[in-house]
Amino acid sequence: MLKYTDEHEWLRLEGDVATVGITDHAAEQLGDLVFVELPKVGATLTKGSAAAVVESVKAASDVYAPIDGEVTEVNEAAAANPESVGTDPQGAGWLYRVRVSDPSQLDGLMDEAAYRAFVG
């Protein structure tokens, strides 16, 4: 199940683990990325709190947690190669995985069609 937030994060749920990243729309708006800061494995994230940071040459942008949960894995390859987050944000450029603690939070997120309509 693929969901989107109005802060331009995506989340793919497989079992009770969700993979999180920034959307291709967000990556395009940010431009060339030069630095990615990921959460720590084991950290407990709260929906809406800053979970990661992506930085372009000009600016730093927070990536908010789309859902509550504990971080189970981070994409070290993305941190080592921030460019990949810009070029393939919804594939190789994923950021981290969380074990979802409250699946009902997914109900408030957008599906693909709703997100595409949202970004126009």
Partner 1 sequence: MTADTAASLTLLQTPLHALHQEVGARMVPFAGYLMPLHYPLGLLKEHLHTRKAAGLFDVSHMGQIAVQARSGDLSDAARALETVLPIDVVGLGVGRQRYGFLTTQGGGILDDLMLANLGDHYLLIVNAANKAAGLAHLLDAIGTACTVEPVDRALIALQGPGAEAALSRHLPVVAEMRFMDARPVAFEGQEGVVVRSGYTGEDGFEIALPAEAAVALARALLADPEVKPIGLGARDSLRLEAGLCLHGSDIDHETSPVEAGLSWAIPKVRRLGGTRAGGFPGAERILAELADGPARLRVGLRPEGRTPVRAGAALYESMEATEAVGRVTSGGFGPSLEGPVAMGVLPSALAVPGRQVFAEVRGQRLPCAVVPLPFRPAGFKRS
Residue 53 interacts with partner 1 (CB under 8 A): yes or no: yes
Contact between 32 and partner 1 by CB under 8 A: the answer reads yes
Shortest spacing between CB 35 and partner 1, in angstroms: 6
Output 57 or 114, the one with its CB closest to partner 1: 57
Q: What is the DSSP string of 94-119?
A: --EEEEES-GGGGGGSB-HHHHHHHH
Q: Would you count residue 111 as binding partner 1 (CB under 8 A)?
A: no
Q: How many Cα atoms within 13 Å fall on the side-chain side of residue 44?
A: 2
Given 16, 35, 91, 102, the residue binding partner 1 (CB under 8 A): 35
Alpha helix (H) residue ranges in 22-119? 24-30, 76-80, 83-87, 112-119
| Site for partner 1, rule CB under 8 A | 31-32, 34-35, 37, 53, 55-60
